[in-house]
Amino acid sequence: MPTVEDRARSSMQERLENFRALLGPTPITPVTLNIGGRPRTIHLKLEGHNVAGSVKARTAYGLVRSLLEQGRLQPGGRLLESTSGNLGIALATLARYLGVSFTAVVDPLIAPECLHRLSELGADVVTVTERDASGGYLLSRLATVAELLEADDSYVWTNQYGSPENPAIHRELTGPELLGQLPRSPDAVFAAISTGGTFSGISQYFREHSPGTAMVAVDIEGSVAFRGSPGRRHLSGIGASRPSGFLDDSLVDHFAIAGIYESAHYCRLVLRTAGLHLGASAGAVVAGCVRYLTRHPETDLVVCLCADGGEKYAGTVYSDAWLRSIGLEPPPEADAVPVASEDAILSGVG
């Protein structure tokens, strides 16, 4: 006869599968931008339409599914993760759905809207305030995670930075969904990197099922997630203070580094011309795509993975005052923008 614990575990598994049914499909929407003096179509995969508002809903599902299958997460358990915002919201949403608790370790770059949403979802929030040696907060957040795990063994760390379930879920779900929504294999796919899990999983899938597609990883200035130079970063949701453990040259055909100025410009341009409210990392991804199309005018069908929507970024890339506070003038209302700095590059890999 099933015990109370068995019934509770079975209930969690059932709820998890119900959550799985809420993941995607998210829409792909074409937008037309003036690039190199002629109109070009860019397809945007809008993960802001996903449950919990971002592509990280998929990541959260994959990480927690693995913990349940391994027996590491039990009824009444306590999930723990370092997050810049989106994964925290996704894990808090899923934790509430499963009836477990969640503690988010965050830093001052997290958007106030994300903090408010975490609070609404009942998450406990721990905020680190000291930057790490690379000028970011990731290593400081991870140190705090380690301290919490040592102090209390009831925590279960989802570990988005090292768990193979991070890229695996995007190889399983995101890659097939994206390819299946297009009339043919795309010439190029663009996505931002931070942990590198989303990009890695999608690239693994495309390497097998659409090997002719160029996979372009996009990062932000100051990040060392792949090949950048360390420096102070002002945006959450893209970039990292340490190299990704999921990326290598076999998965990346081209690598682009975008500046905050470019990210802000393309967020605003897409909103102005297409009425789509993109998140900051998506603005950087579109910047990388525009630069690629400028240098590869023969390229036709391209897709940008847009990790989330722009509502959380009203106080950053959509704010003239914020841009000026970090030493940047707001971008003009023009169809194109020059490369913001010599660090804003697009290069082949391999």
In tens, the pLDDT along 196-255 reads 999 999 999 999 999 999 999 999 999 999 988 888 888 888 998 899 999 999 999 999
Per-residue confidence (pLDDT) for residue 334, from 0 to 100: 63
SS3 at position 266: helix
Per-residue confidence (pLDDT) for residue 340, from 0 to 100: 42
Distance from C-alpha of 72 to C-alpha of 84, rounded to nearest angstrom: 24
Q: What is the mean pLDDT of residues 293-318?
A: 95
Per-residue confidence (pLDDT) for residue 346, from 0 to 100: 59
Distance from C-alpha of 266 to C-alpha of 220, rounded to nearest angstrom: 14
Per-residue confidence (pLDDT) for residue 1, from 0 to 100: 66
pLDDT beyond 50 at 342: no
**pLDDT tens digits, residue range 8-20?**
788 889 999 999 9
* Phi and psi at residue 124, to the nearest 5°: -85, 140
Distance from C-alpha of 228 to C-alpha of 243, rounded to nearest angstrom: 9
More confident residue, 87 or 3: 87
CB-CB contact of 135 with 222 (8 Å): yes
Q: In 3D, which of 309, 30, 300, 56 has the Cα closest to residue 174?
A: 56
Please tell me the class of the 22-51+170-348 domain. Answer: alpha beta
Q: Residue 195: pLDDT band by 50, 70, 90 thresholds?
A: very high
Q: Residue 345: pLDDT band by 50, 70, 90 thresholds?
A: low
| Amino acid of residue 34 | N
- Burial (CB count <10 Å: 0-12, 13-18, 19+), residue 217: buried
CATH fold of the domain at 4-10+55-157: Rossmann fold (3.40.50)
4-10+55-157 and 22-51+170-348 share one fold: yes
Residue-wise burial string across 64-87, b where 16 or more C-beta atoms lie within 10 A, e elsewhere = bbbbbeeeebbbebbbbbbbbbbb
Q: Where are the domains of the chain?
A: 4-10+55-157, 22-51+170-348
